[in-house]
Structure 1
Amino acid sequence: MLLSILFICSLFSTAHTKDVMLRDTCSHNNCLRAFLGSGPEAVAFCQTYTSGIAIPTFAANCHGDTAKVISACSCIYTAPTSSSSILITSASLASISVTTTTTTPTPCFCTAWSQISPAVAACMSITLDNIHAPASSAIILTKLKIGASVIFSGTTSFAFTNSSQFRPLQIAGSNVTIAGAPGSIIDGGGPQYWDGLGSNGGLPKPGQFMKVQITNNSIMRDLYIQNYPSHGINVAGVLNSTIQNIVMNNSLGDAPNNISKGLAAAHNTDAFDVGNSVNLLLQDCKVWNQDDCVVVSDSSNVTVRNMFCSGSHGLSIAGGGTGPGHNISNILFTDSIVTNSTNGLRIKTDYNATGGVVNVTYSNIQLSNIKTYGIDIQQDYLNGGPSGIASNGVEVANITVSNIKGWVVPEATDYYIFCGDGSCQDFTFYDVDVSGGTEGSSCNYPPSGCPGS
């Protein structure tokens, strides 16, 4: 509690300063009682009093005695020794109007959603502890101070929001640190939305659970994210930054529910959608989901390493688009495991798209229990299914696939490469051995055929 006491402050004259020096100790006589009874009026009088001036009527009990007036004033008011200091005696508080104000400091340790915005504006170090975001209320961390840090602790959760435009968690900043405390969980509330259709229809659901745009040596690490409704983390416009040790666990969505009509309840649950990013390191992550583990588009100088992917559509590149600017270059996927997934490694370029996919390396990756394609490079991709006609508007060149080992289920295909006319160049396969599929492999490039043939 802070006491706010308002006075009209002015310095005493030289004569008045001399009078102050002559003051006696407080004597609770009738003169002082008159001053105390007059409250602010008496204080105002004492602020400008010098001996010899007229004594107001409220001080009639002082009987014109200057010594008594000086004594009374000394008990309720002491002149400042400088323009910046005022001493108020305890006796004066009894007669002075006091305004009591309760102030709450800006909370850098947030326990309620409403505290987040002021914390972002004021704090360099922010903790979000057991935050529950109300319906239609995103956790917005897009105006972090340069160099700020945010720690998620406890369980972060979100009320049901029936909108495909809603982005529950939004992060942006320069040289920032985003991290999870030990044992923390970010829960997207997926079972409220899962209907087996994902973003292809059915119940409206957040199209991207988290949007991340961090730059200039930022790091996002140690987050445990579960049950996100549809697409997971949109890594958009990230520059010179690292994302590491992230768990994306949507394994609960593998089973059907009462509205998914026998399909896996969760669908279109990409873990990391990387787009328009440069100099990104994505490493040491674990994913259980129902769509791409990692998919890279329109980016350059991206390294993806030490990933564990289960239930996914694999480690993917999505190349091409409409109009200029859809180029992907210098991408490395390495030292990873892909298991129980639809595809192992995949480069897909949209049918009739334009752009380029150049200088891509897949190395030292283990595949197991792959359901459709072990290694898949196709230029007839459509979201609803392949067109069956490869187009050549996207150049796919300088592709290296080395030390890739593993197996697919019997109903799957070990290798599938379907290039447009003249649009694939310089593919190198080294120490590649994917087997198990009884569906015949098919590769129209390179001219030597599929790996191992």
Structure 2
Amino acid sequence: MRSATLFLWVAAVNVALATTLNPQPRDTCSSNNCLRAFLGRPEEAASLCATYTSGAILPTFAASSCSNSPSKVASACSCIATATAALPPTCDRDNCLRAFIARPAAATALCASYKPNEILPEFAASACDSAPSRVQSACACVYATPTCTVAAQNDGSDDTPAILDAFDKCSRNAKIVFQNTTYNVNQVMNTTDLYNCEIEIHGTLVWSINTTYWLNNSMPVGYQNQSTVWFLGGSKYTVDGFGYGTIDGNGQVWYNLVKGQSNYPHRPMGLTIWQSSEAIFRGLRFLNGQMWTMALMHCDSIIMEDIYVYSKSTNGYPARNTDGCDTIYCNNITFRRWCVRNGDDAISLKANSTNILIEDVILEDSLGIALGSIGQYYGAYETIENVLVRNVTGYGTRYGGYIKTWTGDQVDYPPNGGGGGLGYINNITWNDFTLYQLQQYPIQFGQCTTFSGTTGNCNSSLFKIKNVNANNWVGDTAQSYVAYMQCSKAAGGCDGINFNNLTFTKTGNSSLPVTAYRCRQVSSYSGFTCT
């Protein structure tokens, strides 16, 4: 049972119902007709209790309900006379709130697990007219958020049991706090029942270097051969690192293990945000990702802001597949104020990613902002649509923004093979990029992805690219093209490609402008001349 504290605000006595992880609420107030009458007439009750002395003539509502008993009147006054007056001013002092105050034990149990539209107990259904907004308002006024503080062992042993225990007890209408210390995570975690939960990370969660355990126990995510060490999901929850809370995947041991092999079987990503809605992640640091730093899968209405990602190898083995974040089957996602230093895509939008905003981000050494790869699964229809990327600064990245689809020919199977997928990329806008020392082209389209080690037919993809806009880019590049676009003939080429005010010079020679655009099967375009 969750930790909970439900307070009755009182005048003459300070009645508080304080519980532990196994609450046993006490009702010190007598829930009799006298108290109920006072709850039903808060203004009159407050006036009476302010001046009441034993033996005084009672008003009709109190005389009949309290049987003219001074002890009953005194008891009711001590419990409730000034209760509503002492509540926060935003509380709606209605019958719903009065019913909650009168029944503290029942209100505690209800508020601890309440979700909108669930069946209410009789006392709340009648008093609150079964209105979720009124129930939530009453809970907010009288229910103090229970908190589970995760105690670390601080001796190098596994802290996963304590973490999972906190999520079990405080996953709904509660708070989970990681203190400013190090937590050792040696086991997989599946915590996907969050509701109205606040998660505070003041310390560092470090994943163990036992690659044998992770390869044998990482959890499949249902896409390619990808797996994860942590599923985190639910609705209306927040994860706050306050700018220093850290998740460390101990990635170097993985880079050494796979030696540059792409999509190594069962090599897990660090965090999978799963089937989540109306969630906020902020102020977090992600270091040394095992593979993809994180992925959002089957999510809607998520804000990811003030995030730092660092996954770089310290030796000759590359930090390959260390994407900062991938989206798969996601809608209405915001990435704001990210800083990414890694060995792969900074942010990659994959299958069925729609209504995405990426803004105010800094990229160092990454491959850039990626759309795809997509079209890997034969016959599957997928889309990337309505994407706005703006205010991007890049240092030494491979690209600024790039699109990659698989060919129309299936060669082998995912994760490293595939092709023949259907769908489209539509309504993409890239605005205000500043890119220094680009390794390749500021913009690239490619529809040639195929099985590793083979050459694909770039004109075979049926995946359509259309309505891609780029405005106000500046920087320098090692290459001779501002954009290199290889579109597919089978898809009818790329349509509606509009680039405006893209100004680049040659790296190391600021007086040498780069103005050429390489176009293959670009059917309709504006703002530039194909060469």
- TM-score, normalization by structure 2: 0.59
The percentage of aligned residue pairs carrying the same residue is 20
Aligned residue in 1 for 2:150: 109
Aligned ranges 1:410-421 → 2 under 5 Å: 410=479, 413-421=481-489
Report deviation, 1:306.
Answer: 0.9
Corresponding residue SS for 1:231: coil
Report deviation, 1:449.
Answer: 8.7
Corresponding residue SS for 2:278: coil
Report deviation, 1:362.
Answer: 0.6
Offset from partner CA, 1:288-338 (integer Å, 9 cap, x none): 000000111221111111111111111110133432331111011111112
Aligned residue in 2 for 1:132: 183
Inter-partner Cα distance in structure 2 for 1:367 and 1:283: 18
- 1:245 corresponds to 2:314: no
Gaps of 5+ in 1: 1-104
Report deviation, 1:240.
Answer: 1.2
Inter-partner Cα distance in structure 1 for 2:474 and 2:359: 16
Corresponding residue SS for 2:244: coil
Gaps of 5+ in 2: 1-145, 153-158, 219-227, 409-420, 508-513
Aligned residue in 2 for 1:451: 528
Aligned residue in 1 for 2:235: 174
The number of equivalent residue pairs is 338
Aligned residue in 1 for 2:375: 320
Change (3 A) 1:424 1:451: same
Aligned ranges 1:274-313 → 2 under 5 Å: 274-297=327-350, 298-313=352-367
Change (3 A) 1:451 1:197: farther
Report the AA paired with residue 381 of structure 1: T
Aligned residue in 2 for 1:5: none
Report the AA paired with residue 452 of structure 2: G
Report deviation, 1:173.
Answer: 1.3
Offset from partner CA, 1:144-187 (integer Å, 9 cap, x none): 2x110111122211112324462223210100001114533221
Aligned residue in 1 for 2:464: 395
Inter-partner Cα distance in structure 2 for 1:348 and 1:303: 19
Report the AA paired with residue 220 of structure 1: F
Does the CA contact (< 8 Å) of 1:168 and 1:206 recur in 2? Answer: no
Corresponding residue SS for 1:389: coil
Report deviation, 1:109.
Answer: 3.2
Q: Could you tell which deviates more after superposition, 268-277 or 376-385? A: 376-385
- 1:256 corresponds to 2:315: yes
Inter-partner Cα distance in structure 2 for 1:292 and 1:245: 18
- TM-score, normalization by structure 1: 0.68
Aligned residue in 2 for 1:152: 201
Aligned residue in 1 for 2:447: 379
Inter-partner Cα distance in structure 1 for 2:432 and 2:502: 9
Corresponding residue SS for 1:393: coil
Does the CA contact (< 8 Å) of 1:247 and 1:287 recur in 2? Answer: yes
Aligned ranges 1:27-426 → 2 under 5 Å: 107-111=148-152, 112-123=159-170, 124-129=174-179, 130=181, 132-135=183-186, 137-144=187-194, 146-162=195-211, 163-164=214-215, 166=218, 167-195=228-256, 197-198=259-260, 200=262, 206-213=267-274, 215-251=276-312, 253=313, 255-257=314-316, 260=317, 264=318, 266-297=319-350, 298-318=352-372, 319-321=374-376, 322-352=378-408, 353-382=421-450, 384=452, 387=456, 389-410=458-479, 413-421=481-489, 422-426=492-496
Does the CA contact (< 8 Å) of 2:339 and 2:363 recur in 1? Answer: yes
Report deviation, 1:450.
Answer: 8.7
Change (3 A) 1:432 1:174: same
Report deviation, 1:388.
Answer: 5.2
Inter-partner Cα distance in structure 2 for 1:281 and 1:334: 12
